[in-house]
Chains A and B, each alone.
Chain A
Amino acid sequence: MWKLEKRPTPSRGWAIGAPLLAVVMTMIAGGLMFALLGKEPLTAIKVIFWEPLFGEFSFYYRPQLLIKGAPLVLIALGLSLGFRAGIWNIGAEGQYVIAAVTGAAVGLAFYPWESWIIFPLMVIGGAVGGLLWALVPAFLRVRRGTSEILVTLMMVYVAEALLSAAALGVLKNPDGMGFPGSRNLQQYASAANKELIAGSGIHWGVVAALVAVIVAHILLNRHIMGFNIKLSGQSPRAAKFSGVSPGRLIFFCLGASGVLAGLAGLFEVSGPAGQITIDFNVGYGFTAIIVAFLGRLNPFGILAAGALMALTYIGGEIAQSNLGLPGAAIQMFQGMLLFFLLGMDVFTNFSLKRVKRGIA
């Protein structure tokens, strides 16, 4: 008879071991799934995890890793702050979309004037858009006690409706011959989020993600706000006694995640995506939730998790075109990863003890 016993303090070894074990288990379960789909499991796994990094065309895929990873890391960092404090922003997708719209709108308002000031203004426009979109649920939660989980999520659908209205209406390219979608920002020099080093994939979003990792690390470990966040998550009662204002914490956590999701959206629309279209968003806001947990809500962990998740995205695309693996299988693969991680987490806080069955 086995029994789970609570550890006095969380195990440090398992804190690192659980995500790694989860990745291995996902590979095994994923391999089984691929086999069921009639694909050679080992080949599929190799295509997903090896091909983008060291394969024949890795010169093309490696930059793609940074392009996909940057928004995931940016969004996940913001989410992790709230998740630590028990504030659940699951509508980052909405903040990401709105910021792309507002940021692109700022840039397009200046078209065709060229100046160095336009791009910074767009960044501010995007950040403010994401911030405002996230402050609505924060305000409702603080003033009315409305569940931020549901409001942030509902606002994703509202944001998507606004996105398609913008793509078909206000932001539609006047020279686009009736096609939906805005002007391509990549063709507007002052508004383009260009590659900083040619062929490397590094754009301003990648830089922002790396800076954000360091800022988040400092915030969590060296700043009173970070302490308050961690305290509120571990013991809300203790936090209340020490004078942490729950309202301010909610505003900070949701606001910060809104800004970061907003930045991700802006860098995406002005860079890799290039324009506002109906199907601009591809679910980074939701995948970032997996990234945040996989990275154990730790900034450097999130960096690693973002890279891994970007790898599955790109590997998945390769597997889709080379092996005919359906795209949905990759989505399921990512969902499984989160399942295994959450399951393995039990060993961080509990140890498995063998108990002799005796007289109760």
Chain B
Amino acid sequence: MDGSSISLVILIASLMVAATPILLAALGELVVERAGVLNLGVEGMMITGAICGFIVGVESGSPVLGFAGAAIGGALLSLVFGFLTQVLMANQVASGLALTLFGLGLSALLGQGYQGVRGPTSMRLDLPVFSDLPIVGRILFSHDLMVYVGLALTVAVWWMLKYSRAGLVLRAVGENHDAAHALGYKVVRIRLMAIAIGGACAGLGGAYISLVRVPQWTEGMTAGAGWIALAIVVFASWKPVRALLGAYLFGGVTVLQLNLQAASLPLVEVLIWLSTATAVILLIVYGLLRRSGRQESASGWIKCAIVFAIFAAITAIFNSIFGINLFRNETLWLSMSPYLATIIVLVVMSAGRAPGSLGRTFHASS
């Protein structure tokens, strides 16, 4: 396969950019879900953040203020959800869906005068010496500020949940809200704070799309990124570092998709190579797990490896022996790829244990 037209270094660098909005939103949602609240409104908060950030950014000319505006907008919208589910004890699934529907309408309304307007200049943060380093420089040291914010936030959330007192309280509320209430923690107040943090993060993620990635405003421009963020939280088993991994994985799929379209490589060959490589990687993981004596979790990996190997084999046989290209309609397959990848990952990865009180309504009886 001719891969020379896709430079690996640029691929990884742009992967980090593509992953950042999903990463930010997923980290926020992770905090919310660790507090025992399932907020399905991520998509609505992201798109609201996208337009709030864009408006503030355009009007003030400063992307930093834009991001601040996006965070505030996302947090305010999420507090509507918070009020409904925490104070009025409404169903969380329904309220989250309502938030998404409302957010899509709200953003379209706010963005009326901003279609086709150019965004403010972005805030690339080239670290002078480091960014000139050969390979590492391009990958690690020449991004805009928000890429680093995303990485820093991952570490911060990980540290907070694992080592800080606030994190312990948050997890206690999420695992068993009745016990936490009995211990004297203000369940509703803590959850409202978590929801606001989640909203702010989703807002930042949305603003990253409208201010940096695109940078323009179009209606519905988040195109399901919020839902992918939700999927990543499940995939990550509610662990921040795995959320980073998941977000970068999806960033990779997105970037690969865009590059394949540009480079006009035959998709079918790429797929055969990719799935063979995935099967090999899964086999290695299987071997390592068996070595360390974890038979149970190892069996899942070998099954996945077999599935990928069979897929590669069938595609290859059809392509080279029968001359039938199963992926002839490339635009179709490429445009479906992020969503298909989400489904496949959700299916392949059996999720870890969810927080004990996730999605349950809390009412202090006394």
Q: Which residues of A contact B (CB under 8 A)?
A: 4, 6, 83, 88, 90, 140, 144-147, 149-151, 153-155, 157-158, 161-162, 164-165, 169, 286-287, 289-290, 293, 326-336, 338-339, 342-343, 345-346, 349-350
Closest to B223 in A: A157
Check if B6 is an interface residue, CB within 8 A of chain A.
no
Check if B264 is an interface residue, CB within 8 A of chain A.
no
A301 to B105, CA, bound (A): 25
Closest to A169 in B: B329
Cross-chain pairs A/B with CB under 8 angstroms, 20 sampled: A6-B363, A6-B365, A83-B94, A145-B350, A149-B93, A155-B339, A155-B343, A158-B339, A162-B332, A289-B97, A289-B101, A290-B98, A328-B219, A332-B102, A332-B105, A335-B101, A335-B105, A342-B98, A346-B88, A349-B89
Other CB < 8 Å A-B pairs besides A150-B231, A290-B101, A336-B102, 19 of them?
Answer: A147-B346, A162-B332, A164-B332, A165-B331, A165-B332, A169-B329, A289-B101, A293-B94, A328-B219, A329-B109, A331-B101, A331-B104, A331-B105, A331-B108, A331-B109, A334-B101, A335-B101, A335-B104, A342-B98
Check if B266 is an interface residue, CB within 8 A of chain A.
no
Central interface residue in A88, A151, A154, A334, by most chain B CB within 10 Å: A154
Check if B40 is an interface residue, CB within 8 A of chain A.
yes
- A147 and B234: CB pair below 8 A? yes
Q: How far is the CB of B231 from chain A (nearest CB, A)?
A: 5
Choose among B98, B112, B346 the residue that contacts A338 (Cβ–Cβ < 8 A).
Answer: B98
A290 to B105, CA, bound (A): 14
- A146 and B329: CB pair below 8 A? no
- B102 and A146: CB pair below 8 A? no
- B108 and A154: CB pair below 8 A? no
- B105 and A343: CB pair below 8 A? no
Choose among B40, B95, B234, B338 the residue that contacts A342 (Cβ–Cβ < 8 A).
Answer: B95
Chain A residues, CB < 8 A from B347: 140, 144, 146
Chain A residues, CB < 8 A from B219: 328
- B346 and A150: CB pair below 8 A? yes
Closest to B329 in A: A165
Chain B residues, CB < 8 A from A165: 329, 331-332
- B93 and A339: CB pair below 8 A? no
- A346 and B346: CB pair below 8 A? no
Those 5 A-B pairs whose CB atoms lie nearest each other, nearest first: A335-B102, A331-B105, A328-B108, A332-B105, A342-B90
Chain B residues, CB < 8 A from A154: 224, 227, 231, 339-340, 342-343
Q: How far is the CB of B49 from chain A (nearest CB, A)?
A: 16
Check if B230 is an interface residue, CB within 8 A of chain A.
yes
Q: How far is the CB of A334 from chain B (nearest CB, A)?
A: 7
Q: How far is the CB of B318 from chain A (nearest CB, A)?
A: 19
A290 to B363, CA, bound (A): 25
Chain A residues, CB < 8 A from B335: 161, 164
A331 to B224, CA, bound (A): 18
Chain B residues, CB < 8 A from A330: 105
A88 to B96, CA, bound (A): 12
A103 to B166, CA, bound (A): 55
